[in-house]
Amino acid sequence: GKLVRDLLGLRDNKGETPLDLAVKKKKVAVEILLRDWMDRLALEDNPSCARVCHRSIKQVFSLRNWMMWIGLGMPSSNNEAMFHMQKSVGPMFLVIMMITLAIVMYPWKFLPMWREGYLWDLPFLHMFTMSNILILLYSLYKTYITDPGMLSTSSNTSTELHDLTLHLQSEYENALDALTTDDSSLQSPRPNLCHSCHVVKPKRSKHCRIQRKCVLLFDHYCPFVGNTIGLYNYKYFYTFLLAMTLSEIGFFITWVLYLKRFPGRDVAALVLGFFVSLLSLIGGGMLLYHTQLVWGNLTTNEHHNLYKYEYLKDERGRFRNAFDKGCLANINERFCPKLGIEDERREFINRGADAV
């Protein structure tokens, strides 16, 4: 902390700080990174709830951040500052805020026991909406806390992942030895190595720049749930999207019926319901997209790089998805992941994929 404070407070012979120079030279990524650290230090000095909310709201209403979060104007692979900013609390704060707003508003405005009974004849609709909101909360929590499949030997890593990581590290050392000795036994094409994690990268995995680890069956990093989506938490992420869409459909129908039956004009319900209903567009669109991916057994990363990976090409270089085993088998593979070490050594170790 003290070192960072000293570095941020340094001034050149003209009295300009690093932030002044970044703004002057239009180094946007550096400016964002420096401002983020300044906000962090200010939060450490005065860790109040108001400051936390202010920092989160600032991130939420930043157009530059939104363009990055949804994938527009994505930074270059060498721009670590922008990748660092992806791991911000703003998007997840927004999701939690909207869910909380829905949970508070529903009993306050819609449930018969709290009002004059405008919607007393809709018990099924109430149960449908509230049950999906509860599933939404549970799946968000599980998506956030579940290890997506990060290759690591740390103490909190599962035994299977720990053993697989050790095996892949051994393969990495063998591959380097073979390369340095020009060993002809090293198969061609050569294994895909991650020099950050020091492992042979499993097929369909990718090094996550946010988590700084290789993730099995890497899909994407989602700032709205605060975690990387991979092998083990994809089912919770999909459930999150499904529950959000269904709860928003129920909420929207309830909201419209309430406004129709309520005598006069309920401005609070109109405004709050409108903002909560905006989630249905985002959640519904993402649900349709990921349903398409599950149907074809592809990840977001693979869909965005269809012609990059050799294992997604046939002999003529055309797209061919060897993982598409039919709808039911694809669903089972994505939602019921298994990692048996002895069997998966052949399945996961990438002997023929291009570098990621």
Q: What is the DSSP string of 99-118?
A: HHHHHHHIIIIISTTTSS-T
Half-sphere exposure of 22 (CA within 13 A, CB side): 14
**Owner of token pair 């680890």:** 213
Cα pseudo-dihedral 58, 78, 197, 70, rounded to 10? 40
Q: How far apart are CA 276 and CA 247, in angstroms?
A: 11
Measured in degrees and rounded to the nearest 5, phi and psi for residue 182 equal: 55, 45
Q: What is the pLDDT of residues 121-139, one digit of tens each?
A: 888 998 999 999 999 999 9
Q: What is the pLDDT of residues 246-299, one digit of tens each?
A: 998 998 888 888 888 888 788 877 887 787 777 777 888 899 999 999 999 999
Half-sphere exposure of 85 (CA within 13 A, CB side): 29
Q: How far apart are CA 173 and CA 221, in angstroms?
A: 29
Q: Say what the pTM is.
A: 0.74
Given a contact cutoff of 8 angstroms between Cβ atoms, the answer to whether 148 and 229 are in contact is yes
Q: How far apart are CA 253 and CA 125, in angstroms?
A: 9
Residue-wise pLDDT tens for the chain (356 aa)? 677 788 788 888 888 888 888 888 877 667 777 877 787 777 777 766 666 666 666 666 666 665 555 444 444 444 444 445 455 566 777 788 888 888 887 877 787 665 566 777 888 998 999 999 999 999 999 999 999 999 988 878 888 888 899 999 999 898 888 777 765 555 556 778 999 899 999 889 999 988 889 999 999 988 888 899 999 999 999 999 999 999 989 988 888 888 888 887 888 778 877 877 777 778 888 999 999 999 999 999 999 888 888 888 888 888 888 899 999 999 999 998 876 444 444 454 444 444 44
